[in-house]
Amino acid sequence: MRLVLLFAAFTVLGLAFESAIPHLVSFHALIPNLIIILVVDLGLRHHGAAPAMLAFAMGYATDALAGSHPGLNAFMMTMVFIVSYEISTRLMVANAMVGAMVVFFGVIASALGTVALADGFSALSDTGSMLGGLTIEAGVSAIAAPFIFSMLAASKRMAGLPVRAKRE
């Protein structure tokens, strides 16, 4: 329950930030994708059915503020969670560097996946002009990820939650 409340608070703040900042920063690529960072942290450090449902809920919350097809971000965030979880179970260490790499590729893959699911795979051929901005957004998100992970770790310690995943 504490994990759900903690991530719910971070999600509300993250979504409000991502939605409000474009009014100041006209180049959207400079705004990190905070929700993917949160989902990657869940996948790397919290293994269970509840964190998977939390990742889905965070995606569905994103659907409320972005895009025109409800379920798209929920799908993508669940995918990012599965990949993060699989990486975490196969690697000996799941530190901030690994998390940043997963965030980088997660941002690009989820954006292209969103376009493919919403408009069909043929629409991917029209995404050439998006890729530059998308790579910058992925880079900014990867740079921001370790800071968000440490903020989450500090919040989890305060809430008495485990900071690292239990090895299964």
Partner 1 sequence: MRGSFLWRNRVLLTSGALLIISLHLISTGVHPGDLAARPESAFLEIVSPVDAAFTRLTEGASSIAKDYLDLLHVREENARLRIELARVKSDRARLAELEVENRHLGELLELKDVLGAKAVAANVIGSDATGLSRTLILASGSSDGLRAGMAVLANQGVVGKIIAISPHASRVLLIDDHNSALDGFDQRSRARGIVAGLVDDGLILKYADRSQDIRIGDTIVTSGLDGIFPRGLLVGTIKSVHRGGPGLFLGVRIDPAVDFGQLEQVLIVTQPPPHLDDAGKD
Q: Does the protein bind partner 1 through residue 23 (CB under 8 A)?
A: yes
Q: Does the protein bind partner 1 through residue 49 (CB under 8 A)?
A: yes
> Residues near 13 by Cβ (< 8 Å), separated by ≥ 6?
none
Q: Does the protein bind partner 1 through residue 98 (CB under 8 A)?
A: no
* Measured distance CA(58)–CA(12) in Å, rounded: 9
Q: Does the protein bind partner 1 through residue 72 (CB under 8 A)?
A: yes
Helices (H), the chain: 2-20, 34-45, 49-65, 72-90, 96-119, 128-159
Which listed residue (96, 98, 115, 161) binds partner 1 by CB under 8 A?
115
Q: Does the protein bind partner 1 through residue 160 (CB under 8 A)?
A: no
Q: Does the protein bind partner 1 through residue 75 (CB under 8 A)?
A: yes
Which listed residue (3, 52, 101, 144) binds partner 1 by CB under 8 A?
52
Q: Identify the burial level of 153 via C-beta atoms within 10 angstroms of its C-beta, where 0-12 means exposed, 13-18 middle and 19 or more buried.
A: middle
Q: Greatest CA separation found in the chain?
A: 48
- Only one of the segments 23-31, 95-103, 144-152, 156-164 lies at the binding site for partner 1 (rule: CB under 8 A); that segment is 23-31
For residue 95 the two structure tokens come to 């530190």
Which listed residue (71, 132, 157, 163) binds partner 1 by CB under 8 A?
71
Query: Cβ(48)–Cβ(6) under 8 Å?
Result: no
Distance in Å, CB of 18 to partner 1, minimum: 4
> Residues near 111 by Cβ (< 8 Å), separated by ≥ 6?
130, 134, 137
Which listed residue (128, 160, 166, 167) binds partner 1 by CB under 8 A?
128
By CB under 8 A, name the binding residues for partner 1. 12-13, 15-24, 26, 28-29, 31, 33, 35, 47-49, 51-53, 55-56, 59-75, 78-79, 81-82, 85, 111, 114-115, 117-119, 123, 126-130, 137, 168
